[in-house]
């Protein structure tokens, strides 16, 4: 088994692993092994278990990456092979907080969508929100694809207080997205600074894996190189 780190990517709400496709291509082209984990988005515990199973499958050292909601999932993993955490416009609740607590912190962007569960307790992103807030810098075709592939998130994922988060003991990086209309940059900076993360700030929207994949890939290659150097 290679000792080189594998980058494990965790998608957020209203997305699936395909949202990382451009980042996967760029990393693989430079020799970085990648796995996009699939989260069921049904309960926070279930998502954490699914991600831990993916980490067990990888086996070797991991740079674990989460977008948006997945930041809350990253905080709960227990797999010992996680060597670094990377938050991409991601939510980082502290002990006793819920994902919803940190998502709702501060003043929302004027174009942020109104969200409410349906009769099954599932929260869907309104169709128009993909262009207005989720990925405004994406092409029209990409926005249509994101809408068509969206997966709703259960309210049960965002209402459960978390335990002591993993970022308290693992080196962490945070990519702040200045144009974000879903999680305002001010809120992201608050979480990143509280984490003690290494912060990178870019003038991109909420979903840079689609709209600015080079920004994400460059950061991940930087983190992979640091993990490798620390293991040498």
Segments in the chain below pLDDT 70: 1-2
**Cα–Cα distance for residue pair 171/96, rounded to 1 Å:** 21
Q: Is residue 77 assigned to a domain?
A: yes
> DSSP assignment, residue 116?
-
Give the total residue count for the chain: 232
Does residue 69 sit in helix, strand or coil?
coil
Number of domains composing the chain: 1
pLDDT, residue 3, reads: 81
CA dihedral 205, 215, 185, 97 (to 10 degrees): 110
pLDDT, residue 232, reads: 74
Q: What is the DSSP string of 186-225?
A: HHHHHHHHHHT-EEEEES--S-HHHH-HHHHHHHHHHHHH
Q: Is residue 21 assigned to a domain?
A: yes
**Cα–Cα distance for residue pair 17/26, rounded to 1 Å:** 15
pLDDT, residue 21, reads: 98
Range of the domain at 188: 6-110+156-231
pLDDT, residue 117, reads: 96
Q: Is residue 63 assigned to a domain?
A: yes
CB atoms near residue 219 (< 10 Å): 21
Q: Is residue 88 assigned to a domain?
A: yes
Q: Is the dihedral of CA 75, 80, 85, 87 positive or negative?
A: negative
What is the b/e burial string over 147-174, where b = at least 16 CB atoms within 10 angstroms of the residue's CB?
beebbbbbbbbbebebeebbbeeebbbb
Q: Is the dihedral of CA 55, 209, 203, 127 positive or negative?
A: negative
Residue 156 sits at φ, ψ, to 5 deg, of -65, -15
Terminal Cα-to-Cα distance of the chain (whole angstroms): 16
Q: Is residue 137 assigned to a domain?
A: no
CB atoms near residue 8 (< 10 Å): 26
Per-residue pLDDT reduced to its tens digit, 34-81 = 999 999 999 999 999 999 999 999 989 999 999 999 999 999 999 999
pLDDT, residue 2, reads: 61
CATH number, residue 203: 3.40.50.1820
Q: Is residue 120 assigned to a domain?
A: no
Q: Is residue 121 assigned to a domain?
A: no
- Prediction pTM value: 0.97
Identify the bridge partners of residue 88 per DSSP, sorted by sequence position. 67, 175
């Amino acid at each position: 088994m290679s000792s080189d780190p594998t980058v494990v990517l965790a998608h957020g709400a209203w997305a699936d692993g395909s949202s990382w496709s451009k980042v996967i291509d760029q990393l693989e082209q430079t020799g970085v092994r990648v796995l996009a984990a699939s989260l069921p988005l049904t309960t926070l515990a279930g998502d954490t278990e699914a991600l831990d199973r993916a980490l067990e499958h990888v086996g070797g050292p991991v740079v674990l990456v989460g977008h948006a909601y997945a930041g809350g999932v990253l905080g709960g993993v227990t797999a010992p092979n996680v060597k670094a955490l990377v938050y991409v416009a991601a939510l980082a609740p502290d002990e006793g907080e819920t994902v919803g607590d940190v998502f709702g912190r501060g003043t929302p962007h004027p174009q942020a969508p109104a969200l409410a569960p349906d009769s099954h307790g599932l929260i869907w992103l309104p169709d128009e929100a993909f262009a207005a807030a989720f990925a405004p810098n994406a092409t029209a075709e990409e926005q249509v694809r994101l809408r068509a592939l969206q997966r709703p998130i259960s309210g049960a994922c965002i209402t459960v207080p978390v335990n002591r988060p993993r970022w308290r003991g693992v080196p962490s990086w945070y990519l702040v997205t200045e144009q974000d209309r879903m999680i305002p940059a001010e809120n992201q900076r608050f979480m990143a600074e509280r984490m003690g993360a290494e912060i990178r700030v870019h003038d991109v929207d909420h979903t840079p894996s689609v709209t600015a994949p080079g920004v994400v890939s460059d950061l991940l290659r930087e983190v992979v190189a640091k993990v490798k150097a620390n293991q040498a």
